[in-house]
């Protein structure tokens, strides 16, 4: 047995919220691939797990006008295989597919990856770039949290106890906008990120958005960059400068700060190559 917890399987968001606020030691169980490992390793000892998978509305995955709506219980494989995602937001699919193994992705969810709030969360950079918004429910009602406000520290979010993220709404970029995601691992097999980056380039507005993960206590969204009139080289230098100012890579068991600092500009250059492939402003 993994621990001393009980489990409930509510059928509605309201019921889930009541369970979550009713017990101080209650946690949401979606994919379980982070939570159950933490329980096994005795990093967390919740009394109650609230399994949200039976709640139908949390399984939604659809295009709602200009937004992609992903429910809290949508596993990563299902997300990555959704045609609309592959077509209009390939970087999201790439991010999802870079997480864990095929088996893991049949359980782990996008929102779980976000709420786990690891600085290295692979889904975070592209969601930051796109300006995603989380729908959050509690016994007090509903609120929306822009993802830029979500991450407050290493594995910490602005969510209050008793709150549950029910869906994430991701503005789908315009057709001409390119998105990309790159991740540096230690091995080609499944691995956490040593450095990860995502970006988008909208030719219409000539705006470049870049986000960097694994180099600070939280994933970081850089300020938007106007590409107008600038060469790829100078844009790259500028983005690298912004990134270095906004991040503070550390040495840990995975990699040294030196390696992270060495790889970050490389990934950023390659990211920009991919995004601006057709040439700046074309």
Partner 1 sequence: MTAELRYVGKSVSRDDAVDKVTGAARYTHDLALPGMLHAAVLTSPHASAKIVKIDSSAAAEKPGVRAILTGDGLCYRLGLYMQDKCILARDVVRYQGEPVVAVAADTLDTAREACRLVEVEYEPLDPILDPRDALEENSPLVHPDLHTYEHMKGVFFPRAHSNVAHHQKVRKGDFDDAFASAAVKLKAEFYNPPVQHVPMETHAAIAQVLPGDRAEIWTSSQSPYTVRHLMSVAFGLPHASLRVHVPYVGGGFGGKAGLHLEPLAYVLSKATDGRPVKIVATREEEFNTLPSRQGLHSAVEIGADKNGGIVALKATYIWDAGAYADYGVNIGRAAAYAGAGPYVVPNCWIDSFVVYTNKIFGTAYRGFGHLEVLWGIERAIDRMARKLDMNPVEFRRMNLLREGEITITGEPFTSGHGSPVECLDAVAKAVEWGTPSEPPSEPYRVRGKGIAMLHKAPAMPTYTSCAAVIKLDEDGAADVLVSGVDYGQGTYTVLKQIAAEELKIPIDKVHVTWECDTAFSPYDWQTVASRFAYMGGNAVIEAAADCLQQIRDVAAQAFDVTPTEIVCEDSAAFVTGAPDRRIPYPQLALGYTFENGNSIGGPIIGHGRYIATGLTHLDPQTGQGLPAQYWTYGAHAVEVEVDTQTGEIEILNIVTAIDAGKVLNPKLCIGQVVGGVVQGLGSALWEGFRFDKNGRFLNPAFVDYKIPTAKDIPRRTEQILIENPQPDGPYGARGIAEHPMISVPSAIGNALFDALGVEFNTLPLDYERILLRIREKSEGA
Partner 2 sequence: MHEISLTVNGHHERATVPASMTLLELVRERLHLTGTKEGCGIGECGACTVLLDGLPVTACLVLAVEADGCDIRTIEGEAHSGKLSVLQLAFIDAGAVQCGFCTPGMIMSARALLERTPDPSDDEIVEAIAGNLCRCTGYEAILAAIRLAAERLQGRESYEADRVLVEGDEASLAKEGGGR
* Residues near partner 1, by CB under 8 A: 1, 184, 186-192, 253-256, 258-259, 262-263, 266
Shortest distance, position 33 Cβ to partner 2, whole Å: 5
Q: In this complex, which beta carbon is closest to partner 2, that of residue 55 or of residue 130?
A: 55
Least distance in Å: CB of 144 to partner 1? 34
Please tell me what DSSP assigns to residue 57.
G
Determine if 3 is a binding residue for partner 2 (CB under 8 A).
yes
| Binds partner 2 by CB under 8 A, chosen from 1, 175, 229, 282 | 1
Rounded to an integer, what distance in angstroms lies between the CA atom of residue 278 and that of residue 186? 31
Site for partner 2, residues 50 to 89, rule: CB under 8 A: 51, 53, 77
- 279 in contact with partner 2 (CB under 8 A): no
User: How many angstroms separate the Cα of 51 from the Cα of each of 30, 62, 110, 129, 164?
Assistant: 6, 22, 16, 30, 12
- Stretch touching partner 2 by CB under 8 A, among 26-34, 56-64, 209-217, 266-274: 26-34
Helix (H) or strand (E) holding 271: helix 257-275
Q: Taking CB under 8 A as the rule, which mask of x and - marks residues 96-135 in contact with partner 2? A: ----xxxxx-xx----------------------------
Q: Which of 32, 125, 213, 219 binds partner 2 (CB under 8 A)?
A: 32
In the sheet that holds 61-64, the strands lie side by side as: 61-64, 67-71, 164-171, 133-138, 141-146
Largest CA distance in the chain: 61
Burial of 60 (0-12, 13-18, 19+ CB in 10 A): middle
User: How far, CA to CA in Å, does 41 sit from each of 35, 107, 158, 170?
Assistant: 10, 19, 25, 33
Number of residues that bind partner 2 (CB under 8 A): 29
Cβ proximity to partner 2, 5 vs 269, nearer residue: 5
Using alpha carbons, select from 145, 137, 124, 120 the residue that is nearest to residue 255: 120
191 touches, from partner 1, partner 2, none (C-beta below 5 to 8 Å by class): partner 1
Nearer to partner 2, 9 or 155 (CB): 9
Q: Does 43 bind partner 2 (CB under 8 A)?
A: no
Q: Is 37 in the site for partner 2 (CB under 8 A)?
A: yes
Burial class (CB in 10 A: 0-12, 13-18, 19+), 250: middle
Count, in order, helices (H) and strands (E) of the chain. Answer: 11, 15
Residue 104: contacted member of partner 1, partner 2, none (CB under 5 to 8 Å, by partner type) = partner 2
Build a one-symbol-per-residue string for 148-187: x at contacts with partner 2 by CB under 8 A, - elsewhere. ----------------------------------------
The answer to whether residues 45 and 37 touch, using CB atoms and an 8 Å cutoff, is no
- Interface residues with partner 2 (CB under 8 A)? 1-7, 9, 29, 32-33, 36-37, 39-41, 49, 51, 53, 77, 100-104, 106-107, 189-190
């Amino acid at each position: 047995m993994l621990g001393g917890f009980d489990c409930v399987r509510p059928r509605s968001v309201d019921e889930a919220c009541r369970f979550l606020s009713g017990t101080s030691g209650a946690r949401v169980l979606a994919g379980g691939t982070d939570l159950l490992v933490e329980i096994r390793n005795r990093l967390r000892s919740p009394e109650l797990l609230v399994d949200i998978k039976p709640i139908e509305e949390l399984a939604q995955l659809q295009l709602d006008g200009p937004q992609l709506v992903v429910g809290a219980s949508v596993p990563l494989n299902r997300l990555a295989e959704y045609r609309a995602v592959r077509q209009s937001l390939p970087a999201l699919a790439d991010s999802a597919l870079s997480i864990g193994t095929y088996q893991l992705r049949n359980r782990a969810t996008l929102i779980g990856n976000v709420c786990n709030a690891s600085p290295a969360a692979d889904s975070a950079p592209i969601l930051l770039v796109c300006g995603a918004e989380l729908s959050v429910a509690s016994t007090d009602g509903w609120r929306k949290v822009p993802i830029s406000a979500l991450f407050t520290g290493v594995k910490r979010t602005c969510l209050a106890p008793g709150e549950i993220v029910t869906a994430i709404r991701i503005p789908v970029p315009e057709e001409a906008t390119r998105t990309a995601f790159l991740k540096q691992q230690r091995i080609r097999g499944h691995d956490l990120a040593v450095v990860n980056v995502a970006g988008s380039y909208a030719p219409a507005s000539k705006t470049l958005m870049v986000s960097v993960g694994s180099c600070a206590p939280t994933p970081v969204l850089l300020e938007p960059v106007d590409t107008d009139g600038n060469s790829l080289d100078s844009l790259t230098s500028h983005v690298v400068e912004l990134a270095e100012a906004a991040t503070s890579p550390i040495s840990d068991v995975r990699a040294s700060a030196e390696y992270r600092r060495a790889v970050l500009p490389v990934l950023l250059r390659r990211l920009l190559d991919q995004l601006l492939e057709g040439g700046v402003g074309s």
